A and B are shown apart, each in its own frame.
Chain A
Amino acid sequence: SQQGEEDPQALSIQEGENATMNCSYKTSINNLQWYRQNSGRGLVHLILIRSNEREKHSGRLRVTLDTSKKSSSLLITASRAADTASYFCATGMDSNYQLIWGAGTKLIIKP
């Protein structure tokens, strides 16, 4: 079932610019995860942020989580052509195995 909604659905920016994607969700969560999917490939886990965290960094990625607004953002700094992909958020609860997925944001980095 779909819980998360990514915004925007599609984003096209110039190489070197920063890209920001947002994810909103509806129910309580224990963690929120971001994944990348390159065209024709499987999803790759990028970063996990737990509900008691507000911000997390990994290389050029910065994720924020606002549980009061039930939203998260993924910032990719200094974008590269290789960042062109679809990005998905997924929310999870510690009480079960299932992740609830958003519909994804398609990011295009123009050279």
Chain B
Amino acid sequence: DTAVSQTPKYLVTQMGNDKSIKCEQNLGHDTMYWYKQDSKKFLKIMFSYNNKELIINETVPNRFSPKSPDKAHLNLHINSLELGDSAVYFCASSPSSGRSYEQYFGPGTRLTVT
């Protein structure tokens, strides 16, 4: 069984479009994250939710909006896509709140904006 799953795996779209990426974890974890990994492999935290509450909101354009309908799901909606948004986006989860534990990553969504 897949622990952390993301859909879609690949996303090719044009500038100006709006798109969403979905993430689900079946590990029973309280905390979920969105990361962006650029072409140089730098991993940048974007958002984190703990029990559906936003706890980390790094400097990310307002065009990015996370939504957590329940603690097993964390979706990422991106408005008005730009060329610079092209990257691989990873969802992750971790088992507990209040401490930094090991994180479990999804397979990634490769977003290409043309």
Contact = CB atoms under 8 A, between A and B. Distances in A.
A93 B100 contact: yes
Among B43, B48, B55, residue most surrounded by chain A Cβ atoms (within 10 Å) = B43
B14 to A, nearest CB: 24
For chain B, which range describes its interface: under 10, 10 to 19, 20 to 34, or 35 or more residues?
A: 20 to 34
A75 interface: no
A104 B41 CA distance: 7
A42 B100 contact: no
Interface string A89-101: 0001110111101
Contacts of A106: 41
Contact of A30 (B43, B56, B100): B100
Interface of A: 1-2, 30-31, 33, 37, 40-45, 48, 86, 88, 92-94, 96-99, 101, 103-104, 106
B51 to A, nearest CB: 11
Contact of A33 (B99, B102, B105): B102
A94 B100 contact: yes
30 contacts: A1-B58, A2-B42, A30-B99, A31-B100, A42-B90, A42-B92, A42-B106, A42-B107, A43-B103, A43-B105, A45-B103, A45-B104, A92-B99, A92-B100, A94-B100, A96-B100, A97-B31, A97-B56, A97-B94, A97-B97, A97-B99, A97-B100, A98-B56, A99-B100, A101-B43, A101-B45, A103-B40, A103-B42, A104-B41, A106-B41
B107 A41 contact: yes
B90 A94 contact: no
Nearest to B58: A1
A42 B6 CA distance: 11
B100 A45 contact: no
Given A43-B105, A101-B43, 7 more contacts: A42-B108, A43-B43, A43-B103, A94-B98, A97-B48, A104-B41, A106-B41
